[in-house]
């Protein structure tokens, strides 16, 4: 586990209901060099006081503090409710300190949604996304990284960690697999979380792999961490697929405090390959730093030389206007030509989900990245992640894949070995075909 140094550690009193939850919390406290007494218990009625204390102990500016940065973010252990309940808690809300919210109350008290649907067909058509419909698992809310483009990493007040993992594996995982028999691969991702940063003391992914083996399914972990040595001791690690968010060195150093350095993520991928765990990479979000061409050329060379990835994906930072991105990160760190072109196109990109960079800028970047990969690896499947239909129509040929049936990083049907398990329920991606079946997914 990361050598976290949280400025506060709390646990919801219901954690004490099960010795397995207590044991998990104590293991994780031990990894933080804290005794069991280092965590403070709280009741439901005490939530406003806890949030007041957390606000006084932690601010977003602290992600850049040396030496711990985001590793000092408060941690709250809680019992996760697996019934998707989100009570209103009016008696708590009326006493909340200014600047806190019901969503924070839910996280503290374990109302962390156990699963979540993403990229359902109609939703992707409405937003002009191309992806694969999936449903993911989550046992925590928050992350030990301080990525400045991420609302969670930049400013979340605490990380809430669900510790009833045994119950989750026995109840939630089989339930979702039964509901979606066509889905062969499931992400353990959320929410805004990096699970491997908490292992092996968390003992989630090992149990997840065992349950997946029992159900004949596969599971993804999605990470910007290099904490992988513990995976060698996971019995069913062949059921796991590792996905790394890969950044050039300047982006990792300047915009992702607390995460693994760029080269360490590739080295972690090489370790996983040696353990028999398939490895895939996403340059997501790809942010065009001032040195992005040199930085990503070097990253992709090392990626192809040190590992044999099953896929490499690209996604220029999106979900922003240029003004909102300016509020998150220092635009002076970026390619100034691209920044200016984004300001010039601000009106055109208003409300466009793939903004702030206009289509022509993103297309230039994708072509360059594809060219760099092909210098070193002629065969690895390339794709663009959550991009528009128009972008696929323009650069799909450069990537060598068809938008309606592409092998990506975390597809619900992307089996190890670069195999797509298409079926009548999921016959193609959310690329909107002019005619033909759409599937139920």
What is the gyration radius of the CA atoms in the chain, in angstroms?
21
> Who contacts 399 (Cβ-Cβ below 8 Å, separation ≥6)?
366, 370, 382, 383, 384, 406
Phi-psi region of 339 (alpha: psi -120 to 50; beta: other; left: phi over 0): alpha
Tell me what the pLDDT averaged over the chain comes to: 96
In the predicted structure, residue 257 carries a pLDDT above the cut 90: yes
pLDDT digits (tens, 9 = 90+) for 349-379: 999 999 999 999 999 999 999 999 999 999 9
CA distances from 401 to 247, 405, 431, 435 (A): 23, 8, 13, 20
Q: What are phi and psi for residue 221, nearest 5 degrees?
A: -115, 140
pLDDT tens digit sequence for 113-156 = 999 999 999 999 999 999 999 999 999 999 999 999 999 999 99
β-strand partners of 188: 137, 221
Domains delineated in the chain:
113-420 (3.80.30.30)
Number of H helices, E strands in the chain: 16, 15
Residue of 155, 1, 14, 147 lying closest to 76 (CA atoms)? 14
Omega before residue 224 within 30° of 0, cis: no
CA 244, CA 260: separation in Å to the nearest integer? 10
Cβ neighbours for 212, distance < 8 A, ≥ 6 positions apart: 173, 186, 218, 219, 236, 239, 240
* Backbone CA torsion sign across 308, 396, 147, 105: negative
- pTM more than 0.85: yes
State the pLDDT at residue 318: 97
Integer Cα distance of 413 and 59 in angstroms: 40
Please identify which residue in the block is written with the tokens 């072109």. 341
What would the pLDDT profile of 286-342 be if each residue is shown by its tens digit? Answer: 999 999 999 999 999 999 999 999 999 999 999 999 999 999 999 999 999 999 999
* Mean pLDDT calculated for residue range 388-411: 97
Alpha helices in 158-204 (DSSP H): 165-179
Query: Distance between CA 366 and CA 386 in Å, rounded?
Result: 13
Residue-wise pLDDT tens digits, 258-289:
998 999 999 999 999 999 999 999 999 999 99
Q: What is the mean pLDDT of residues 167-174?
A: 98
Is 106 in contact with 114 (CB distance < 8 Å)? no
Q: How far is CA 150 from each of CA 50, 90, 153, 192, 316, rounded to the nearest angstrom?
A: 24, 29, 5, 8, 14
More confident position, 437 or 418: 418
User: Which structure tokens are listed for 40?
Assistant: 């403070």
């Amino acid at each position: 586990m990361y050598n976290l140094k949280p400025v506060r550690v709390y646990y919801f009193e219901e954690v004490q209901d099960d010795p397995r939850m207590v044991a998990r919390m104590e293991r994780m406290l031990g990894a933080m060099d804290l005794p069991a007494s280092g965590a403070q218990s709280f009741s439901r009625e005490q939530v406003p006081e806890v949030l007041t204390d957390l606000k006084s102990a932690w601010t977003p500016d602290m992600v850049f503090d040396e030496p711990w940065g985001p590793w000092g973010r408060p941690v709250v252990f809680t019992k996760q409710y697996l019934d998707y309940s989100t009570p209103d808690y009016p008696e708590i809300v009326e006493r909340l300190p200014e600047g806190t919210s019901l969503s924070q109350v839910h996280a503290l008290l374990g109302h962390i949604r156990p699963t979540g649907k993403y990229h359902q067909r109609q939703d992707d058509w409405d937003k002009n996304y191309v992806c694969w419909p999936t449903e993911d698992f989550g046992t925590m809310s928050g992350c030990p990284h301080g990525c400045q483009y991420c609302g969670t990493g930049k400013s979340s007040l605490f990380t809430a960690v669900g510790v009833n993992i045994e119950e989750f594996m026995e109840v939630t995982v089989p339930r979702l697999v039964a509901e979606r028999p066509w889905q062969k691969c499931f992400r353990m991702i959320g929410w805004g979380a990096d699970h491997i940063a908490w292992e092996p003391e968390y003992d989630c992914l090992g149990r997840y792999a065992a349950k997946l083996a029992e159900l004949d399914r596969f599971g993804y972990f999605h990470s910007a961490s290099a904490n992988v040595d513990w995976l060698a001791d996971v019995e069913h690690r062949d059921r796991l697929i590792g996905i790394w968010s890969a950044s050039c060195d300047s982006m990792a150093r300047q915009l992702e405090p607390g995460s693994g350095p760029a080269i360490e993520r590739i080295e972690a991928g090489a370790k996983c390959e040696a353990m028999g765990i398939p490895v895939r990479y996403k340059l997501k979000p790809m942010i065009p730093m001032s040195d992005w061409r040199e930085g990503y050329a070097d990253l992709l060379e090392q990626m192809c030389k040190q590992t044999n990835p099953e896929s490499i994906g690209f996604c220029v930072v999106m979900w922003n206007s240029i003004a909102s991105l300016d509020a998150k990160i220092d635009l002076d760190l970026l390619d100034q030509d691209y920044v200016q072109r984004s300001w010039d196109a601000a009106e055109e990109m208003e409300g466009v989900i793939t903004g702030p960079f206009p289509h022509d800028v993103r297309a230039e970047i994708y072509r360059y990245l594809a060219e760099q990969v092909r210098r070193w690896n002629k065969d690895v499947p390339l794709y663009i992640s959550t991009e528009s239909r128009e972008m696929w129509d323009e650069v799909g040929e450069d990537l060598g894949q068809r938008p309606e049936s592409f092998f990506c990083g975390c597809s619900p049907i992307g089996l190890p070995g670069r195999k797509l398990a298409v079926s009548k329920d999921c016959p193609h991606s959310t690329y909107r075909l002019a005619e033909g079946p759409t599937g139920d997914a």
